[in-house]
Amino acid sequence: MEQLSHWIDGKHVKGSGRSADVYNPATGEVQAQVPLATKSELDAAVASAEKAQPAWGATNPQRRARVMMEFVRLINRDMEKLAEALSREHGKTIPDAKGDVQRGLEVIEFCIGAPHLLKGEFTDSAGPGIDMYSMKQPLGVVAGITPFNFPAMIPLWKMGPALSCGNAFILKPSERDPSVPLMLAELLKEAGLPDGILQVVNGDKEVVDAILDNETVQAVGFVGSTPIAAYIYERGCANGKRVQCFGGAKNHMIIMPDADMDKAADALVGAGYGAAGERCMAVSVAVPVGEETADRLIEKLVPRIEKLKVGPYTGGDDVDYGPVVTAAAKENIARLVQSGIDAGAELVVDGRDFSLQGYEDGFFVGPHLFDRVTPDMDIYRKEIFGPVLSTVRAGSYEEALGLAMDHEYGNGTAIFTRDGDAARDFANRVNVGMVGINVPIPVPLAYHTFGGWKKSGFGDLNQHGTDAFKFYTRTKTVTSRWPSGIKDGGEFNFKAMD
């Protein structure tokens, strides 16, 4: 069995205490063990990062950008290897795994522009003989706590801007699929990142609390569930840190009567069931407006969902999605599905009896489609994080809009329509952070920012884009005045400068 490690001072380091099992979700078998760091191990990693950071922070932004340029080349070189390792531990298909890496890579490409993004402002002659300018300086040692569902993308979203700004970075990846973050650390070293600037410390709550309580760590970024996001935000802020946390989601897609129903159905199947629904931007609630629209939508959805192929990532390119990440995740999905049935929702597509020959012990979940779900049901209120799509029928556009606005989560939403007025009104009024118009998963590109509202996001700055460079730097403003050596007649007086 493979024994994984931490990454400290540019090399793999064995853990000294507890460990956790890493599963192959397709087979249910333990394939590796990952060490769970203690507080003392975390503190040692932070101390090492603190020692290394000043020299990296003093390195000019262009040279730091060159490291990112080489990092991009190396990721592209090893794309197949990274995707295979990601799929083996997470369970998602190879195309999904490559997409995971690619969306993270795009942020690293954006970070190559660090010399421009870190430029300050300058005002000439703000007063008599006075100039003013600002500088963006690194915070020092910062940290990221990242989730299992995107083991490449989210670490890259966090580490890329942090390192490009001149910080040292402590990464605490998910203990469920830690191999890809360790591989990325190796690639960064190969790209020229100095030892000690990136530390990968595996662990659970013990190491999370150690990060939040360590006085040297100046900022913490987190992606995960809302309860943990709230906990990390409160504890980190109480300790005087800059904190950004992104939590759960319940993303609604409104389908207007004039929508292209085939395109809407295709979008819902891809957005609702891709990656087994384990995406914070997955569409988990379809909101058709009007009974006729709902009937037409269900008619289009059922055959598409019933044709979905569920299997291991080794099953070929025609596999639509793989297993969920753990047995506990599978059990939680089953509980919520049963709660929907008990509450009176209509289970139109029933995936409860799904079993895959030869993979009976894997964590596979068949696709589910509910109709006539109501807002008081747990399957509507809670984030399921599985291949379950709920249909809530709305009597009007205003009712559909109200569903998205009244839900406690505000990560992403979408509307499918041919009506520009309706689309514009929806985009302007809905209190959700990311909006798609005839786009089911409105994840912004790397040069815009990613972030949810309400209980989906905590903090005042989003991920990637220019917000990331603001989050990982602090601004210093300098007011400068030099004594003049010029006489009234225009002749330079050297004595005045003595």
H-run or E-run covering 108:
helix 94-111
CB distance 286 to 389 below 8 Å: yes
Distance CA(247)–CA(264), nearest Å, equals: 27
Closest to 100 in 3D by CA, of 294, 313, 284: 313
Q: Where are the alpha helices (DSSP H) in 309-406?
A: 327-343, 378-381, 397-406
Q: Which helix (H) or strand (E) holds 21?
A: strand 19-24
Q: Is 245 a catalytic residue?
A: no
Q: How far is residue 102 from each of residues 27, 75, 113, 242, 451, measured CA to CA in Å?
A: 27, 9, 18, 28, 19
Please report where in the chains the tokens 């790397």 appear, as a residue.
Answer: 446
Helix residue ranges per DSSP H, 344-435: 378-381, 397-406, 420-429
Residue appearing with tokens 């759960």: 248
Q: Are 115 and 140 in contact (CB under 8 A)?
A: no
Nearest Cα to Cα of residue 144 among 172, 104, 182:
172
Q: Cα–Cα distances in Å, from 206 out to 82, 188, 218, 363, 431? A: 28, 27, 19, 27, 35
Residues 219, 139: contact at Cβ < 8 Å?
yes
Burial class of residue 351 (count of CB atoms within 10 Å of its CB; 0-12, 13-18, 19+): buried
Do the Cβ atoms of 259 and 418 come closer than 8 Å? yes
Active-site positions read 280
